[in-house]
Amino acid sequence: MCGIFGIENHPDAAHLTYLSLFALQHRGQESAGIASVLNGQMNSHTGMGIAAEVFSEKRIEKLSGTSAIGHVRYSTTGSSHIKNAQPLVSKTRHGVLALGHNGNLTNASEIRKNLEARGAIFHSSTDSESILHLLAHSSGDFDEALLEALKKVEGAYSLVILTRDQMIACRDPYGFRPLVLGKLGDSYVVSSETTALSLIKASYIREIEPGEILFIRQGKLKSVKISPRPNFSRCVFELVYFSRPDSVVFGKSVQAVRQELGRFLALEMKEVKADLVMPVPDSGVPAALGFSRESKIPFEVGLVRSHYISRTFIRPSQALREVAVDLKLSPVSEALKGKKVILIDDSIVRGTTSRKIARSLREAGAREIHMGITSPPIVSACYYGIDTPKSEALIANQRELDEIRDFIGVDSLHYLSLEAMLKAAGGTGFCDACFTKKYPIKTPDEVLNFQKAVP
């Protein structure tokens, strides 16, 4: 759960990168960073918190350059600490390099052990640093060394790398995490999501292909393939929950997919009679609209979200999470009193948020609450970059449907079927392991070992 961005060959590179971090902020709020290059000289700044807290106008001015990359981080490996903030900057035999990574490597602990045995000294506890070390240890010129390094890493990575004279964007052969290419005038731009392109008025060209390394130098592109194509495993949860609805992700409008998810859910919940359909804001909004259009049950705003509280999960401690739900969402009793309500959300993870919401809707006067979830039960951890780390913490891994319904405190609970979710997302080529336990890469334990081994 991170966001990456890069722009090559633009006089205002750092400033545009700074703006883009606002558009990608939903992808991580623990730390933010920018690295830029001016006349072969690299400058960077990282800090804890959101982009607006980390950067001032003065800071941005000091980063002025003709190419820049940026990163917002939510830690999925390595602790929430400034030394893990990205872009990671390192001096290597290829000169100074900066790297921003979104995803989790599944063989990171093995790579790290091997490199440390050969004398490598790691500065952070992130899996991302392994890529820099592999790069430094690989033979040939930079382009060859990068290819050699990437052939050794497994798992999920969308990367943006800045060197003194070029910018590189690449995506793992499975295509777990998104990454797109855009253009602003003569400058190429890469971003986790198209919303950052729209913000800076860049046009969207295409996805960086799964398994593609794109070398961008002085406005010219060179595309190299990492390895023969495996089956694509794009993260379906990006479309269900994580990405912004105004983005195009994996070639699909996120908003349109979510409306379709809601429509399919309405078809599967035909027997439920209600006075109104309401979303858990913000992520449930497009789906509730799709549901309402299909079912002809009126759409209503029954919960108001405070925009001054960040996403509940993005605060990593349980204590903070608990309070944050009440601070973030408050019910509109006028809309709810005496009503039979269909409540739409994208997913249930631990069940704690949904339970609190259900309780507050009842306190506000809702007569019946029927909960509709636009994805199947999450039963297994993600090892590829979404923060659902421990299977034990997932309510659907521990309890049956009626137990979950009772725990949350709703009159009925309906999960969208796997088939309908995949159909709405576009069919095949997705990773759905958190719903099915079918992991496209075999060694997920490695990530857990890595997390245990590195504090």
List the catalytic residues. Answer: 2
Nearer to ligand AMP, 43 or 352 (CB): 352
Compute CA distances 108 → 131, 135, 216, whole Å: 9, 14, 27
Q: Strand, coil or helix: what is 427?
A: coil
Distance CA 332, CA 324 (A): 18
The span of 18-26, 102-110, 129-137, 341-349 binding ligand AMP (CB under 6 A) equals 341-349
Distance CA 73, CA 27 (A): 7
Q: Does 102 bind ligand AMP (CB under 6 A)?
A: no
Nearer to ligand AMP, 195 or 352 (CB): 352
- The interface with ligand AMP within residues 240-259 (CB under 6 A) comprises 241
| 137, two tokens | 């240890």
Distance of CA 152 to the CA centre of its chain: 24
Longest CA pairwise span in the chain (Å): 71
Q: Does 158 bind ligand AMP (CB under 6 A)?
A: no
Minimum CB–partner distance for residue 264 and ligand AMP (Å): 18
Nearer to ligand AMP, 84 or 354 (CB): 354
- Give the containing element (helix H, strand E) for 413: strand 412-415
Q: Does 76 bind ligand AMP (CB under 6 A)?
A: no
**Peptide linkage before 228 cis (omega within 30 of 0):** no
Q: Does 345 bind ligand AMP (CB under 6 A)?
A: yes
Nearer to ligand AMP, 22 or 313 (CB): 313
Please spell the DSSP secondary structure of 314-376, one letter per residue: GS-SHHHHHHHHHHHEEE-HHHHTT-EEEEEES--SSSHHHHHHHHHHHHTT-SEEEEEESS-
The span of 81-89, 162-170, 328-336, 348-356 binding ligand AMP (CB under 6 A) equals 348-356
Nearer to ligand AMP, 210 or 377 (CB): 377
Distance of CA 21 to the CA centre of its chain: 13
| 13, two tokens | 């590179």
Q: Does 350 bind ligand AMP (CB under 6 A)?
A: yes
Nearer to ligand AMP, 12 or 238 (CB): 238
Q: Does 346 bind ligand AMP (CB under 6 A)?
A: yes
Nearer to ligand AMP, 4 or 349 (CB): 349
- The interface with ligand AMP within residues 273-332 (CB under 6 A) comprises 280, 283, 311, 313
Contact assessment for residue 5 and residue 195, using Cβ atoms and an 8 Å cutoff = no
Minimum CB–partner distance for residue 230 and ligand AMP (Å): 25
Minimum CB–partner distance for residue 356 and ligand AMP (Å): 8
Please spell the DSSP secondary structure of 34-61, one letter per residue: EEEEETTEEEEEEEES-HHHH--HHHHH
HSE at residue 228, side-chain half, CA atoms within 13 A, is 0
- The interface with ligand AMP within residues 206-245 (CB under 6 A) comprises 241
Minimum CB–partner distance for residue 373 and ligand AMP (Å): 9
The span of 29-37, 51-59, 221-229, 347-355 binding ligand AMP (CB under 6 A) equals 347-355
Minimum CB–partner distance for residue 431 and ligand AMP (Å): 14
Query: Binding marks (x or -) toward ligand AMP, 352..391, rule CB under 6 A?
Result: xxx-------------------------------xxx---
- Give the containing element (helix H, strand E) for 67: strand 67-73
Q: Quick one: residue 309, left, alpha or beta (phi over 0 = left, psi -120 to 50 = alpha)? A: beta
Distance CA 258, CA 370 (A): 19
CB-count exposure of residue 292 (10 Å: 0-12, 13-18, 19+)? buried
Nearer to ligand AMP, 247 or 347 (CB): 347
| 341, two tokens | 């309500």
Distance of CA 342 to the CA centre of its chain: 27
Minimum CB–partner distance for residue 406 and ligand AMP (Å): 14
How many chain residues are in contact with ligand AMP, going by CB under 6 A? 18
Binding ligand AMP (rule: CB under 6 A), the pick from 125, 347, 360, 451 is 347
Give the CB-nearest residue to ligand AMP: 313
Q: Does 409 bind ligand AMP (CB under 6 A)?
A: no
Minimum CB–partner distance for residue 292 and ligand AMP (Å): 18
Q: Which residues bind ligand AMP (CB under 6 A)?
A: 241, 280, 283, 311, 313, 345-354, 386-388
